[in-house]
Structure 1
């Protein structure tokens, strides 16, 4: 037992003897949350960690996912102010749940799927990683959120998700038990569930210090779990703040019928993630591996076709939103190529349509990044403490503008910007160099061809002056900034030389930023991927007849970006995206019918704003092309 814990328990024991503190014969003021300008303030009596009470317990769930004939129990920790014992203070709870708290697996690429094989082929088997070394120091599962929320008058609770840490059960990567596990903890926090001092004992523990008002937050997988809990409609879960949540495992590992990997994790799939988080329940590991990973996942994930199916539908929270009533503050980065931004946008739009209180916060960076404390504080103050601060009347959308700090977002009426409307652009011929991207074309543009070669990265293809491995079409140089807000859409008519093909589309800003300190994402406006075999349905592939043209339509990732004056907007069409797709043998030819190809851009101000921003400036345009010239890529 740690020195800090011993000191805390000793203090609590002494203070329990004298529950009414007196000064000069008068009862001292009891500690309580303090609010100013609609936000919970840091309270001196709550901020000293030496006076916090920490303990852990196990909460019984309603499921048996590890097949041992007993209801699974989740390991839970609690950190709360001493006044919850000495003064009978009841407080709302900020709750985080995670599969990562107690250790994760090996990220060595040898445990990923091999991506160097032909499309439509069964991939070679994947090597499973060794057992995870459990890392835990009871009674503390995690210290996340404690420093932010406990001094502001909240109790902070954590739990390890099923099959991780000291929680029982099996990881299912989005299965029902990962929604029902946090629901059980919330039921316990609200006095409805059962908690015990040990994983297999019957000595009860109650949450007598809880008001029955719970909020959840977390990032990535830890942000998925709050949404999962909210879809159960559990009473007492009043508000959630998911940050970069994975809202559909299909949209994480697939895209419009295409096998696609999260950025930075080429070769990862749902079964790898299972291995990566399965840190607990050693006695039931064989059962979980057999039933979940080697049976359900192996049969359902389908790395051959990439089609959507019932396995993926069960792991798509868009289908489970019916019971949800927790107020939602969503957060995401527009340049997050790990959990791409559509994950948050699709849920935000669906929850807004339900009439549930909702706000969204976006920044221009990559994975992670919570809203500013002010936004989160107002959200939890309103829905957990019940303070009428008018947050429901605040702007719905908060977007960090280019170059601004995360804590200084710009507010908008909604996302997408209500002033945005679609502008349809058409390509003009130019391959293997650059064509143009224009509002109207005066004559037929015919077809142009590209040759697949995964050896070249997307950024090198975008910068190339001449290459047969992509098609690219650029707008006139912007004479003033152009604001995009919403989801660009692409419509192509193409033919493939083979029955299988990757299809990748990037929207880029040129000239390319060559500053070594700059991120590659500085020039990527947005991206999208699709399998032409799924042009009719993502649930069913149709082998392509070589040489036959097919109409393919799909969305690119949502965005809100102001493209700077002096830049050009480029539409790049290519096949294998080296960062995220499979790597088939180079040589597949894609032929694109330019007359049947369209890009729909969501422009704030619509067509008139686009015309104004692209008013001809021949001198500037010539200089831009000269600056962006790069060596040819054969």
Structure 2
């Protein structure tokens, strides 16, 4: 089948005039105030050239003995047909060509005792959708009029791309690398999936920027960790930077928010939309051996399998300028994912900035930030973006396009203060910078049928322990990553441990935002008190010190609120759900929370005195 006749013939007449068009001055990118402007000559969708092709990679993951080829589409202004070269904005995804249905049978049943044998999950049937040559229409209306070419590709084993999905395996990094190499003349592109007729990116300057959200935001980072030349800048939005951190938490089997019972093999089944005739091969090797043998749902321990799917471990070759974006209340891909990569990039001297908002999953930076980033690193315009504030934080009641600039994140004025727990009376204990005179041991009873929200609302509850600061007489700004140390014993050899940092009293009604009551949260497995790499059964009555980070945050707690540390066991939205009855006892004298407060202990004391 010939590839281009349906897509290029409508432009044949216009192409005759391309030389004349390109000779006009307005057929070049235009910049103002450090940003690429819309060029009328580029802003004519009816003349855009759209084509698809296959780029050859350096791997074979579908077992046919041939190097896998990735399906790629290109959308570019007509002027590139007659000599104009432009930089590329590129997005790649496993989702473009269809996914499995959202069927509960495709997820693990989490209603069982911790570590118990689980029944196998069903294999979802992915129905491929979409017609060639268009893989996606994302980005094109935004960036082509501003003087860019837009490229998309389907990930290995999805859509019309060859290979197998590996959910964080090396081929998912090498596939976009191959496309960047092709855009720079270092890899081969072909008109058909099985042809030898080559296609060259004669219209590319070789400078590439990548962006995308969620899995599509993970893949720009994956490509950047290869150190591929030509990938100048990336803007990952809510990226999953470690599959361990996505499916586990400090040794605990913990689902991403909204997807209780999902794990890495579930995601594999969800996205595997590639050639049906090759699915059995990939299923048998990748899903049923590599993923099943490595994921370890029984213990939740960190191991070499998970280390190989943690992009923090692969960052040494990375050099692409990094603009991260994330929501502090993203409980699907949690905010730690971006911060851990941003922090390392800064340590490496990579140009880096971070944008955080107060909402949930997704949410790119304001267009102005993205435009300045790509203008600098793809068009080479000296707009000084590297000197802009390192962090832009959207405050609680502000519009997302009106962030507050900070010198960095966490706020450089934040200092860690340590708060200690005091004896409970009337349903809550104390949380203070002074150690309480009486710090006994207190017990809660696990019951996964009681939601965390109900525990927060309750004045008393046997299912949680709650410790509160005095009422705040002024606002208090928290910026950074809280850390808890909890001395805990369990009536059983395994137990969940969940911790929420909350703002009370609890508000209900219209107009209430998630930030009004939830500050941040975290989860851990007490069996991993010594190391996330090794679980050991808990001995009844023996106390273990468990230290772990909560999710990073930047929030201003309102005057009139109390900050609360809520400790409980099973979390009905995130953890395995054993039968009620496990007792956890906390030794308050050895339990504490470290809180990053702007202004430190002085600011905290001033708000409560």
State the TM bucket, normalised to the shorter chain. over 0.9
* 1:381 to 2:392 alignment: no
Secondary structure class of the residue paired with 2:41: helix
Which residue number in structure 2 is paired with residue 88 of structure 1? 83
Coordinate RMSD, CA, aligned: 1.5
Cα deviations across residues 203-242 of structure 1 (Å, max 9, x unaligned)? 0000000000000000000000000000000000000000
Secondary structure class of the residue paired with 1:21: helix
Give the 3 Å change call, closer, same or farther, for CA 440–502 of structure 1 in structure 2: same
Which residue number in structure 2 is paired with residue 259 of structure 1? 253
Which residue number in structure 2 is paired with residue 51 of structure 1? 47
1:37 to 33, 37, 62: 33
Is the Cα contact below 8 Å between 2:520 and 2:550 reproduced in 1?
yes
Distance in 2, Cα, partners of 1:578 & 1:492: 21
TM (norm. structure 1) is 0.94
1:73 to 69, 92, 96: 69
Which residue number in structure 2 is paired with residue 448 of structure 1? 442
Which residue number in structure 1 is paired with residue 97 of structure 2? 102
* 1:487 to 2:490 alignment: no
Which residue number in structure 1 is paired with residue 20 of structure 2? 21
Give the 3 Å change call, closer, same or farther, for CA 67–11 of structure 1 in structure 2: closer
Point out the more displaced range, 28-37 or 497-506: 28-37
Distance in 2, Cα, partners of 1:435 & 1:291: 53
1:173 to 167, 172, 184: 167
Secondary structure class of the residue paired with 2:96: coil
Which residue number in structure 2 is paired with residue 364 of structure 1? 358
Is the Cα contact below 8 Å between 1:335 and 1:364 reproduced in 2?
yes
Which residue number in structure 2 is paired with residue 319 of structure 1? 313
* 1:216 to 2:240 alignment: no
Give the 3 Å change call, closer, same or farther, for CA 614–234 of structure 1 in structure 2: same
Gaps spanning 5+ residues in structure 2: where?
none
Secondary structure class of the residue paired with 1:380: helix
1:147 to 135, 141, 145: 141
Is the Cα contact below 8 Å between 1:421 and 1:603 reproduced in 2?
yes
Secondary structure class of the residue paired with 2:179: helix
Query: How many angstroms does 1:258 deviate by?
Result: 0.2
Is the Cα contact below 8 Å between 2:42 and 2:146 reproduced in 1?
yes
1:114 to 109, 122, 126: 109
Secondary structure class of the residue paired with 1:430: strand
Is the Cα contact below 8 Å between 1:432 and 1:468 reproduced in 2?
no
Distance in 2, Cα, partners of 1:307 & 1:206: 46
* 1:509 to 2:508 alignment: no
Secondary structure class of the residue paired with 1:406: coil
Distance in 2, Cα, partners of 1:458 & 1:157: 44
Secondary structure class of the residue paired with 1:44: coil
Distance in 2, Cα, partners of 1:537 & 1:162: 34
Distance in 1, Cα, partners of 2:199 & 2:530: 54
* 1:234 to 2:233 alignment: no
* 1:353 to 2:347 alignment: yes
Query: How many angstroms does 1:513 deviate by?
Result: 1.5
Secondary structure class of the residue paired with 1:529: strand
Give the 3 Å change call, closer, same or farther, for CA 455–84 of structure 1 in structure 2: same
Point out the more displaced range, 34-43 or 518-527: 518-527
Cα deviations across residues 390-417 of structure 1 (Å, max 9, x unaligned)? 0111100000001111100000000000
1:430 to 413, 424, 430: 424
* 1:556 to 2:550 alignment: yes
Which residue number in structure 2 is paired with residue 128 of structure 1? 123
Distance in 2, Cα, partners of 1:135 & 1:483: 48
Gaps spanning 5+ residues in structure 1: where?
616-634
Distance in 1, Cα, partners of 2:510 & 2:104: 27
Q: How many residues align?
A: 607
